[in-house]
Amino acid sequence: MADGPLRWGILGTGLIAETFTTDLKLTDSGIVAAVGSRSQEAANRFAEEFGIDRAHSSYESLVADPEIDVVYVATPHPMHRDNAILALEAGKHVLVEKPFTMSAAEARDIVAVAREKQLFAMEAMWTRFLPHVAVIKGWLSQGALGKIVSVSADHGQWFAEDPEFRLFAPELGGGALLDLGIYPVSFASMVLGAPDRIVSISDPAFTGVDAQTSILLGYESGAHAVLTCTLRAKSPTTASIVGTDARIEIDGDFYAPTSVKLIPRAGEPKLVSSEHEGRGLRHQADEVALRLAANDLESPMMSLDETVSIMETMDTVLAQSAAGS
């Protein structure tokens, strides 16, 4: 890699690519050096809007660009596996949008190639790297909550019923769980690890994808996680972690920069307010730059093994959804 800021190649030109590129301008750890799309027109539009020097008319051309160090995979979920492996096979490190893949098997494919090629790979679960999550992790590591009893989190958004919109389109990996539910599931994994029991119910949208899914996870410790996601309504999008000695309440949107409160069983609550510029995606870019500078191939804050474990949980929930439909 070249000295100086990390040179990013953006694979895909959708909304999340725009958000990431905008946020990256708020940090000095990296720059967007190139963008790739399936058409020259789309790549040129993106490059002109964001002041990017090089615009590629194919993903193959982008990953072959010698002037980029790492590829941000920002395509729809069903394309993540092939796009990430394309970049890895070209010798590029990857940051892959969440959900990492459509299944645990696909996730394992990416992990295997990354480890074979000795290249960095990480799921772009940007919530993990936000300032308020660092505060939460600090409280947890200090044992401020005592024994954790339960975790709850919801993520609901309202979307007009348009069969061509990606969240309703089966061929684009639509549905509440993969796009919205990944946040609560990943949050529970961060706090409690992998569950040993999974129970879920889902109701379909008019296109057959899940419109609403609720999940109950059980753990060997005796803790429970209660998670829900929906395409039908804007929910509070809050989260909480409840322990024997205290609880943590996370304001909405819990997965984005926000305020958190530690409420002890006895004593005064402690509030940490949010002061933040940008959407929050820049912090994961900083983490990638930090790890690559240290010659690390993974981030301990979002390990590949945990990403696979999360996808295993998602697989089970999706299978239960299909069986109940």
Q: Residues with catalytic annotation?
A: 98
Cα-Cα end-to-end distance for the chain? 49
What CA–CA distance (Å, rounded) separates 97 from 12?
Answer: 11
E strand residue ranges, 61-195: 70-73, 93-97, 121-124, 148-156
What CA–CA distance (Å, rounded) separates 180 from 241?
Answer: 19
If DSSP codes are grouped into helix, strand and coil, which group holds residue 81?
Answer: helix
Bridge partner residues of 203 (DSSP): 212
Provide the residue type at 155 as one letter. Answer: H
Adjacency order of strands within the sheet including 197-204:
197-204, 210-218, 224-230, 148-156, 239-243, 246-250, 260-264, 270-272
